[in-house]
Structure 1
């Protein structure tokens, strides 16, 4: 099924930024591993946080959902014998962390996922865990999901990981390391990308009482055996999700107000705020009221800009959509990690925007897809069918790009917004965007909003 989306002439209103997905997931994990009861306020409820909750329940945690917060009774770092299959669906973070935690369980655990996850790179993590004493085997394809972890413990010692594939490898080992029999050291080779996600992990562990340290260049980590402590946590806003609302506000003249905006964030994707300011959009915070206001009187973006996204890879698709309307050029570099995400996001956005008439080139660094340069225009004809490549962030970004085209476009993958931003379509319907689900080009449409 496709989603037909009509263009709009203006965008304004008041919208709530979803709470942070990575902060929610990390809070659920620390609460699961702690002794006692933790409460997580303002948590995000979407498919991927639900997958994390289901996995943590399988590990032995008791998780109760209340209006506005979660209550989690942890397992005190002691796993009950479960001998079962844990489903990660499409979540790379859930698969990687649960695979690491399964190493310290007393019985075998199979960790699996959907077709997209089974194609993702896992070998560096599996090899690192084996260096620490884990006994892990792939069930279908070598060094891919699904795996069986025989649960024979992590002895400790030193493991090695690359820094330019996924920060989730480092995060996974860091979460399991306090439960090892001895101290764990992680040595990271090459340049470290997505440092902000590792900093979020380190902050989560430290707040939970874990003895962990990292070098200034984020290439060396030390973790001592230590116990997770229960705590109360309030989750802040998610700037990847906010980027879609912010980008829409930047594409049209007017004022947009976003709530649930604390303004202080360790997220690398917070970079969307200074990027918009560089593009000439006014973005201001009222931290007392948790409001973010976007004023964009001209409704146009002009100039020649360059952005390094090595610490904010999840806004790469958003920037491609924005760049399509920068009258001048937008050059984005440092995005090589995105080729390991649900889709190769740079190539996906370039291919689909080219289909819509956008002048965009993929940039390569030593043969590796690293970024793009887009030379924008005021508008495009529209009337095309665009693919999400099975990636919810590609869908949401292409959706934005289509709003300023002259004719309605059709998009695949609209159901996947439930993974991280369940109210995405509702919010844009409130802003006046008309959508309809369609089966085939000539079949009647079913209005969604």
Structure 2
């Protein structure tokens, strides 16, 4: 389904949007709930990724054969977390597979780490990539090392199963650490359910925790990555626009809450209220110098949104810390270069950076390829405030934000 977004003007200057729970928090807590059934969860994400995670965990525990095949489609988080989960399910054998793109996304670093701990995981097709066969084992080893600049999901996958290991886990991260906020989120969630952890220099320790009967209720904060598109909309809109988003808190566990600080540069003020945030366009705001620079190493998932915002506002920018974007749903650096160039931008990329050099305006009615990547679709949509734009395969947003297009209609976007 392709969507033709006409040049839109926000007809309702004061709008309220409710966004479901963080996909990142939800997927971590779904795995922990499978390990510790006394957890109860509120405000879980309605994203495809979380639905896939929940379905696989439920289906695994249905009474049937001990040998099972699970297809997690495009859900990268589910692939990483479930690989670790199934590695410790003693006496069970499963095969994890996914979409054609998932079979191109590396998993060898995580598999090697689990196998070093005593797991038994092998490759069904291509070495280093899904599908993988996992034979559940009791793991007693408790020390392993990983390169520190890999996807934080590899690290979080190990940390999430650590309290169920007989001797816990001591994980050494070698080199400069990427995406520290996501690691800290995982550790904070472990702490919330009573697991003792420490993170000193490059060594993370997680103590074992037995099951308990006492119920632990947890409410999941709404997704800050999903909020990023609303920040972009306010930045590209007229003075007077106010959008309220719920449910958010000031002391967020999510690294993408850095949006509050980043979007001050683009004229967006964030006001925290009880259980919500108000985004407001600042009057008489002066945009930053055209050589705006930003290191997004700790929050790469919002890079696409910020890049499109800069382009829409018409100034040059340079982003670094983006090396993990090449192994996401698509190579997001190449995808951004391709689509921004079609719109009239001059773009250059390296293995870990993106620079938007200049543009002579924004080309109209450009068809944006989304590469089976939900964030490509949503990041480019706010440009409809400037020019008509076509979003290809718009249904891909269901991966993380199924009601996105409905929410845009609510505030006056035209389709």
Same-fold call, TM > 0.5?
Answer: yes
Superposition deviation, residue 249 in structure 1: 0.8
Residue 249 (structure 2) aligns with: 262
Q: Distance in 2 between matches of 1:211 and 1:227?
A: 12
Q: Distance in 1 between matches of 2:284 and 2:370?
A: 30
Q: Give the total of aligned pairs.
A: 407
3-state DSSP of counterpart to 1:114: coil
Residue 22 (structure 1) aligns with: 24
In structure 1, which of residues 91, 102, 105 is the aligned counterpart of residue 86 of structure 2?
Answer: 102
Residue 70 (structure 2) aligns with: 86
Q: CA RMSD in A?
A: 2.2
Distance of aligned partners of 1:299 and 1:384 in 2 relative to their CA distance in 1, 3 Å threshold: farther
- More divergent stretch after superposition (103-112 vs 258-267): 258-267
Q: Distance in 2 between matches of 1:81 and 1:178?
A: 27
In structure 1, which of residues 385, 396, 401 is the aligned counterpart of residue 383 of structure 2?
Answer: 401
Q: Is the 8 A contact 1:252 1:299 kept in 2?
A: no
In structure 1, which of residues 174, 177, 180 is the aligned counterpart of residue 162 of structure 2?
Answer: 177
Query: Aligned pair 1:391/2:376, yes or no?
Result: no
Superposition deviation, residue 424 in structure 1: 0.6
Q: Distance in 2 between matches of 1:291 and 1:272?
A: 12
Q: Distance in 2 between matches of 1:412 and 1:299?
A: 34
Which protein, 1 or 2, shows the higher relative CO under an 8 Å CA cutoff with sep ≥ 6?
A: 2
Q: Distance in 1 between matches of 2:364 and 2:156?
A: 41
Q: Distance in 2 between matches of 1:298 and 1:414?
A: 35
Query: Aligned pair 1:335/2:334, yes or no?
Result: no
Q: Is the 8 A contact 2:267 2:281 kept in 1?
A: no
Query: Aligned pair 1:418/2:398, yes or no?
Result: yes
In structure 2, which of residues 212, 220, 223 is the aligned counterpart of residue 235 of structure 1?
Answer: 220
Q: Distance in 1 between matches of 2:57 and 2:325?
A: 27
Per-residue Cα deviation, 1:253-275 (whole angstroms, up to 9, x for no partner):
13222231323212111111111
Q: Distance in 2 between matches of 1:323 and 1:35?
A: 45
Per-residue Cα deviation, 1:30-59 (whole angstroms, up to 9, x for no partner):
2221143x3211222121111111122134
3-state DSSP of counterpart to 2:128: coil
Per-residue Cα deviation, 1:223-280 (whole angstroms, up to 9, x for no partner):
2332255410011121110000111011011322223132321211111111111233
3-state DSSP of counterpart to 2:409: helix
Q: Distance in 2 between matches of 1:80 and 1:225?
A: 30
Residue 113 (structure 2) aligns with: 128
- More divergent stretch after superposition (22-31 vs 52-61): 52-61
Q: Distance in 2 between matches of 1:283 and 1:226?
A: 39
Distance of aligned partners of 1:289 and 1:148 in 2 relative to their CA distance in 1, 3 Å threshold: closer
Q: Distance in 2 between matches of 1:126 and 1:60?
A: 23
Q: Is the 8 A contact 2:9 2:413 kept in 1?
A: no
3-state DSSP of counterpart to 2:222: coil
Q: Distance in 2 between matches of 1:214 and 1:281?
A: 34
Q: Distance in 1 between matches of 2:2 and 2:310?
A: 25
**Equivalences for 1:294-313 in 2 at 5 Å?**
294-297=280-283, 301-304=287-290, 305-313=292-300
Distance of aligned partners of 1:378 and 1:427 in 2 relative to their CA distance in 1, 3 Å threshold: farther
Q: Distance in 1 between matches of 2:211 and 2:371?
A: 39
Superposition deviation, residue 298 in structure 1: 5.5
Q: Distance in 1 between matches of 2:357 and 2:310?
A: 7
Q: Is the 8 A contact 2:162 2:208 kept in 1?
A: yes
Q: Distance in 2 between matches of 1:326 and 1:259?
A: 23
In structure 2, which of residues 206, 218, 229 is the aligned counterpart of residue 223 of structure 1?
Answer: 206
Residue 350 (structure 1) aligns with: 337
Q: Which structure has greater helix proportion?
A: 2
Unmatched segments (≥5 aa) in structure 2:
none
Superposition deviation, residue 414 in structure 1: 0.7
3-state DSSP of counterpart to 1:257: strand
Superposition deviation, residue 89 in structure 1: 1.8
Q: Is the 8 A contact 1:133 1:155 kept in 2?
A: yes
Q: Distance in 1 between matches of 2:314 and 2:211?
A: 51
Q: Distance in 1 between matches of 2:69 and 2:287?
A: 50
**Equivalences for 1:50-69 in 2 at 5 Å?**
50-60=51-61
TM-score using structure 2 length? 0.92
Q: Is the 8 A contact 1:382 1:402 kept in 2?
A: no
3-state DSSP of counterpart to 2:67: coil
TM-score using structure 1 length? 0.85
